[in-house]
Structure 1
Amino acid sequence: MTGPERADVRPPDADALAFLTRPGLARLWTAVRTRLERNGLRPAGAIRLDQLDAREREALSLLLARPVTGLTVTMRLTDLDTRLRASAVGRGLVAMLEELGPPLTDRRAVRDAAAAERAHVWSTARSELEATLLSAQPWAAQWLEEIRRGGTLARQDSHTAITVITQAIQTLGALFPGTNQPPTPATWGRGELATRTTGSAHGLDDGTLLSRLVLRGIALARGVESPADAPARRALWRMASVTPDEVSSTVLTYGLRPTGGTWRERALRERADHHMETHLTLRELRALRLEVPPRTRVHVCENPRVVEAAADTGGGTEPLICTSGSATTVVLTLLDALAAAGCTFAYHGDFDWPGIALANRIRHRYAAEPWRMRAADYEYLATRAQLHGTPQIPLTGTPTDAEWDPELTPTMAALGIALHEEAALDLLLEDLGTSVGTHPSGDSP
């Protein structure tokens, strides 16, 4: 701006305002606005307009008080600013464009402020590293530089960025204290550690930005790769002597008979003999010796009702594991252990698109065979439901290819009916009582 605008200058009269907003000047004001915002709202430099039409030439001639006859015109912003001040408009470019709206943005000032905020974030982080003595750790500088280059914190507002990086440094400082710092517990509970450094027991929960930054620091400190999934994250926490919550999430089992000789394995066999279901935590799974006879066949279902019904009928000699919807870490931990023990798997779930997606994941991870999950099974169950007058659930969402049976997805899409696992409950119980039963189509699952 060439000088302060007078606060008592009256707004342009109606004729001046009508002239400024005429269509022939629209391109001019757009170009001027862009240049001013780049220039820190100073009327400096020049703009050029090409391919002028007759309407634009007329409007520019009146504005500049000189004939504009060609297809191109170049204007210095200082000259245009002076011209507007001396005219009936009575004010410079910045004030005039602000009045016409929308408000101008000093993009240079915005960039400078953002750069200053980023510098403040990293200055604060380096100071915190020194304060916690974490800077003495050989990996700490690499960790901080990786975070800076990654841009994760740059996408946060400065207050959030400073809070998160400070808490991450304090958390790592508690896990890797300097020699002159007070002693810390030999083993932390993750909730206890989170409360200490964030004030919330959930501050280091999976999925938070803070937990990702801390885990990257632990990985660098221990010389391992960053974790790619939930089991790997838990393992990495344990490498830093942090115990995740391993008791609140459970996996539902039935008929699990490990051959180990400790009281844990004996308790599972006894519950199986009494036809009782069992919920196992991650903590229990780590202590179990999951040895089973080679090639033991494990049935996997999606819904707890299947386990409940199997226990009620007292049938079945083979293990049954329930994913309880999308398989969580504790479910996958048990299935991984059974796979390592040489078990084979058969899977059944809901006939809807999320159910098909889950079946694909279980099939990929464990080479599981479909258990009454082929197109013929779906058609049989859909027909039976219609004959019994069972209310139909529309099949909604985006179709998912059933990778084990190319006919299943088009069959489901054609009939448009979702079938929950309970629709096949009697057939599943029959299979569990006598090993895998006969497929409606005559095929083995």
Structure 2
Amino acid sequence: MTLPPQARAFLAQPALGRVWSAARRRLEGNGVQARGSVRLDGLDAVEREAVSLLMGRRIGSSSAVIRLDELDARLRTTAAGCGLADALEHLGPPLTDRRGDRDSGRRARAAVWAAAEQDVAGSPLADQDWVSDWLDDLRRSGAVGRLSPLDAAEVLRQAVQALTALHPVRDERVQPIGRGDLATRVTGTAHGLDDDTALSRVVLRGLARALGTDPPELAPARRALWRAAGVVPDEVSSTVLTYGLRPVGPGWRERALRERSEWHAETHLTLRELRALDLVLPHGTVVHVCENPRVVEAAADARCAAALVCTSGSAATVVLDLLDTLTAAGHQLRYHGDFDWPGIALGNRIVRRHGALPWRMSAADYEELATRAGMLGIPAVPLTGPAVEADWDAELAPAMASLDRALHEESALEWLVADLRPTR
């Protein structure tokens, strides 16, 4: 049915707008039932007159309480000829049964966990004490809460399948399996257990429960947990650019790295190589850290002697692993990066995590470089993004904001190469 034009014109008048807004909120919250009441305050004369005509009784004050069942009955016996819910639908937009949606959502979520428990019951995991704690932990933490019920059920099903493939995780007789192979077996794609997937996070929570450890937060801990369960992560695709590392160990890997350093050759190291290397450098070695590969190239060309690690922009896991290893061995790091906000943010990260010292990264250094760039007529590149305070120098961010000029490491290349002590 449609509202008669005269009734629609009356109901749609602006003076009744607050009535319909309040009634809509109440109906959508209580299962689209004309129950309860709404209160309107601050009614002006036009609104009072319109509400009085709507309800068939005089509204004499600026406040009114409207019972929804009364309003529903009134609409049915007037020219509107329909109930409150239909009237609101005609006035638009369509009503949403939020209570029904919530109840439906709760039922769907309950079905997700019931299906997961059924999957466990039909698997070798059924007799494992940790599994019920794992499911309870996932439920409480909301680990799959942002997924649709259908996607959440699929992630949990695949997680049970993956953990079943690794069962029992403490058995040393279990043959190691590549993470990509396991992911392909469970999801059909080699990337199904990549670090950024919900499935990976859910499976790792299960492995942590099985092995009696805390769920891993950082990438090194995640890889260690995978290895403890007999899963071999990909440790060869990412590399860190290094120069001048001279480990003192007697192995062939350490000898090869020292030889490349003697020939002033840069070296790309994988996570796999880092795990195998004994990266203890000569006592007192200071390791310089730069952001741009051009610094490594210039250091090699100048036959510098100092140890150098390049983050190649935002430091990847393999970079952080190497810096972790070096600081754990007692070596001091000194960081230089771009004089822009991402460069300062990366510097803060390395200073906080590794206790690095700044290297040519003071406000005075920035101002001198900016002045020199201006004198040379180098076009100014403005800073972009939100400002970042430097942990090591409270004056640096204000100086950068004042001059509004981004300076990349190439502008300080002459300084950096001199600091790296070139040999003859």
Q: Same fold (TM over 0.5)?
A: yes
Check whether the contact 1:218–1:236 (CA below 8 A) recurs between aligned residues. Answer: yes
Residue of structure 2 aligned with 1:81, choices 50, 72, 82: 72
Query: Residue 393 of structure 1 aligns to a residue in which SS?
Result: coil
Q: Which residue of structure 2 aligns with residue 301 of structure 1? A: 290
Query: Is 2:410 aligned against 1:422?
Result: yes
Rounded to whole Å, the distance in 1 between the matches of 2:316 and 2:134 is 30
Structure 1 stretch 354-363 or stretch 134-143: which is displaced more? Answer: 354-363
Query: More displaced, 79-88 or 264-273?
Result: 79-88
Q: TM-score, normalised by structure 2?
A: 0.92
3-state secondary structure, aligned to 2:421? helix
The alignment status of 1:361 with 2:353, answered yes or no, reads no
C-alpha displacement at 1:305, in angstroms? 0.9
Aligned residue in 1 for 2:361: 373
CA distance in 2, matches of 1:69, 1:300: 77
2:4 alignment counterpart? 12
Structure 2 partner of 1:96: 87
User: Does structure 1 conserve the Cα–Cα contact (< 8 Å) formed by 2:337 and 2:347?
Assistant: yes
Taking structure 1 as reference, are residues 376 and 127 closer, same or farther at Cα in structure 2, changes over 3 Å only?
A: same
Distance 1:40 1:121 in 2: 24
CA contact (8 A) 2:124 2:167 kept: no
Residue of structure 2 in register with 1:338 after alignment:
326
Return the offset for 1:250.
0.7
- Distance in 1 (alpha carbons) for counterparts of 2:341 and 2:42: 56
What residue in structure 1 maps to residue 190 of structure 2?
Answer: 201
Partner of 1:284: 273
**Offset, 1:172:** 1.4
Q: 334, 337, 343: which one pairs with 1:349?
A: 337
Q: Given the alignment of the two structures, is residue 133 of structure 1 paired with residue 140 of structure 2, yes or no?
A: no
Choose which of 118, 141, 152 in structure 2 pairs with 1:161.
152
Q: Does 1:171 align with 2:162?
A: yes
CA contact (8 A) 2:239 2:269 kept: yes
Q: Which amino acid aligns with 2:247?
A: P
SS across alignment from 1:276? coil
**Cα deviation, residue 413, structure 1:** 1.9
Gaps of 5+ in 2: none
**In structure 1, distance between residues paired with 2:295 and 2:339:** 15
Does 1:217 find its partner at 2:206? Answer: yes
Larger-Rg structure: 1
- CA 1:310–1:75: 2 relative to 1, 3 Å: closer
Q: 1:401 aligns with which of 370, 389, 398?
A: 389
Following the alignment from structure 2 to structure 1, what is the Cα–Cα distance between the partners of residues 329 and 260? 21
SS of the aligned residue for 1:418 comes to coil
Of 267-276 and 27-36, deviating more is 27-36
After TM superposition, the structure 1 stretch with the greater mean CA deviation from structure 2, 365-374 or 51-60, is 51-60
| TM-fit CA distance, 1:121 | 0.7
The whole-number CA distance in structure 1 between the counterparts of 2:395 and 2:30 is 64
Q: Does the C-alpha gap of structure 1 residues 84 and 423 become closer, same or farther in structure 2, counting only changes over 3 Å? A: same
Partner Cα distance (1:72, 1:312) in 2 = 83
Contact 1:25/1:59 (8 A) holds in 2: yes
- Partner residue, 1:442: none
Residue 312 of structure 2 is matched in structure 1 by 324
Could you tell me how far 1:379 is from its partner in structure 2?
2.2
Spell out, residue by residue over 1:325-364, the C-alpha distance to the aligned partner (whole angstroms, 9 max, x if none): 1222211222222223222222211111111222222223
- Alpha carbons 2:289, 2:309 under 8 Å: kept: yes
Secondary structure of 1:153's match?
coil
Rounded to whole Å, the distance in 1 between the matches of 2:67 and 2:373 is 79
Using the TM superposition, give the Cα deviation of residue 53 of structure 1 relative to its aligned residue in structure 2, in angstroms: 4.3
Q: Which amino acid aligns with 1:260?
A: G
Read off the aligned partner of 1:155 and give its amino acid letter: R
State the partner residue of 1:242: 231
Native 8 Å contact 1:154 1:161 kept in 2? yes
Q: Does 1:385 find its partner at 2:376?
A: no
**1:12 alignment partner AA:** P
RMSD of aligned C-alpha atoms?
Answer: 2.4
Partner of 1:188: 177
What's the CA shift for 1:70?
5.3
CA contact (8 A) 1:254 1:277 kept: yes
Alignment partner of 1:266 out of 236, 255, 280: 255
Q: CA contact under 8 A between 1:174 and 1:184: conserved in structure 2? A: no
Separation of aligned partners in 2, 1:352 and 1:112? 50
3-state SS of paired residue (1:360): helix
Identity %: 58
Q: Sort the Cα spacing of 1:44 and 1:431 in 2 relative to 1 into closer, same or farther, 3 A.
A: closer
- The alpha-carbon distance between structure 1 residues 72 and 238, as it changes in their structure 2 partners (threshold 3 A), is same
Q: Is the 8 Å Cα contact of residues 291 and 341 (structure 1) preserved in structure 2?
A: yes
Q: For 2:242, what is the secondary structure of its paired residue?
A: strand
CA contact (8 A) 1:129 1:135 kept: yes
Paired residues for 1:19-98 under 5 Å: 19-47=10-38, 49=40, 52-69=43-60, 75-98=66-89
CA, structure 1 residues 77+428, in 2 after alignment: closer, same or farther (shift >3 Å)?
closer
Q: 1:45 to 1:308 in 2, by over 3 A?
A: closer
Aligned residues: 422
DSSP-derived class of the 1:210 partner: helix
Q: Distance in 1 between matches of 2:101 and 2:199?
A: 27
Is the CA contact 1:317–1:433 (under 8 Å) kept in the aligned structure 2? yes
> Could you say what secondary structure the match of 1:224 adopts?
coil
- Matched residue of 1:256: which SS? coil
CA distance 1:363–1:48, shift in 2 (3 Å): closer
Q: Distance in 1 between matches of 2:55 and 2:346?
A: 70
Q: How does 1:114-125 map to 2 (within 5 A)?
A: 114-125=105-116
